[in-house]
Amino acid sequence: MKKIFLLFMLFSVSVFFQACNKIDEVLNEDINQSKIDERMKNLSTLGTVEYSFTKTIKSSDEQFYTIGMRQILMSCKAYVKAGVNFEKITISKIDKQNKSIELLLPKAEIILLNIPAEEIKIEIETTGALRSKFSNDEIQKVQVLAEKDIKKKVNDLDILNKAESNASMFLDKWIRSFGFNSVKISFKK
């Protein structure tokens, strides 16, 4: 039993020293703009915020020339991802001596707005005796209105600012892992 414990301890110590060597390699690695630029561009677009919404849509169709009324109540679930395109990041300044870097990031953008068809449900549909049900084309138009309203809600809920904040925190920690002591991040206007 003591031999197994001793072997385990020796193995743990060797793994620890290998990890320390890797950290030293990263810190002693020649820090240059092209290496950092290449690594950031490999990240491509980073989705830093994801929201899901449930949207209820009510529509009615009652014109002066029709007899009776039609109403529909639909619900849909929408998924929104926002983030920053890392391929458009600019390194403004890099100081090897002080191990500081300044980055200029593009504004956050909506990466994905997804309203899966299986998440769209007709909750209630009422139709007068002399009226037909809503056609697929009419239902599609109601769905388009819902999508536009969800896009408007993205601005109201400050999702893009949250995406920028999260991208900034991620990049700060990630760049510091290369051995930088000072990281200044700003966004294009």
Binned at pLDDT 50, 70 and 90, residue 112 comes out as confident
Binned at pLDDT 50, 70 and 90, residue 1 comes out as very low
pLDDT value at position 184?
A: 93
User: Strand 100-105 vs strand 109-114: parallel, antiparallel, or unpaired?
Assistant: unpaired
Do 23 and 35 belong to one domain?
no
Binned at pLDDT 50, 70 and 90, residue 156 comes out as confident
Do 83 and 127 belong to one domain?
yes
pTM comes to 0.63
Q: Which domain holds residue 24?
A: 1-29
Do 164 and 81 belong to one domain?
yes
pLDDT higher than threshold 90 for residue 157: no
pLDDT higher than threshold 70 for residue 53: yes
Question: Tokens 């169709």, residue?
Answer: 61
Do 56 and 133 belong to one domain?
yes
Contact 142, 28 (CB under 8 A): no
- The CA distance from 119 to 112, in Å, is 16
- The CA distance from 133 to 154, in Å, is 32
pLDDT value at position 11?
A: 35
pLDDT higher than threshold 70 for residue 24: no
